[in-house]
Amino acid sequence: MKHTTEENNMNNDNNAKSSFAGIGNKSFNFDKEAAFAKQRKNIESLTEANKMAIEVLKSISKLQSQYIRQTFEDMNEMMKDMIKIKTKEDWEKQTDKMKDGMEKATEHGKNLMGILSQSNHSIFDVMQKRAFENFEEINLNKKKK
């Protein structure tokens, strides 16, 4: 038997009304201080995570500026050396310098990825710890009732 949309809506309204019937008769105790304390802890955890993220960004920024400065110095020297190339050995030396530059760049990338990965884990741990504390608080409150 098919129901019309109107009949379905009416049934849903009746189900909702019956689900909430009697709520007005029950007393509801809301502990504002406990709620504020819980939110304060949540905000403290977020603040800690944000401070950690800012410190990581500062570190990465410092490393990047050092790396860029060094890269430009190395490139400047390579350009000067390229002008002086006269022999096959000079080309080999220059190729080795370019290879070293590439190795430095890849190592720098790996270092940055390591820093980011480690900081992401640390920040996640802070947030996860607070989430678990919230769950524990919920369980303790249920047991009290």
N residues, the chain: 145
Alpha-carbon torsion (43, 44, 45, 49), positive or negative: positive
Q: How far apart are CA 131 and CA 79, in angstroms?
A: 55
With contact defined as beta carbons under 8 Å apart, do 48 and 61 qualify? no
Neighbours of 7 (CB within 10 A): 10
pLDDT per position as a tens digit, 108-125: 999 999 999 999 999 999
Q: Which of 8-22, 62-76, 129-143 has the lowest mean pLDDT?
A: 8-22
pLDDT score at 117: 93
Give 104's Cβ-side CA count (13 Å radius).
Answer: 16
**Which phi and psi (to 5°) does residue 134 adopt?**
-60, -45
What's the whole-model pTM score? 0.60
pLDDT per position as a tens digit, 23-49: 555 555 777 888 888 899 999 999 999
Q: Residue 99: is its pLDDT beyond 80?
A: yes
Residue-by-residue DSSP string for 40-87? HHHHHHHHHHHHHHHHHHHHHHHHHHHHHHHHHHHHHHHHHHHHT--S
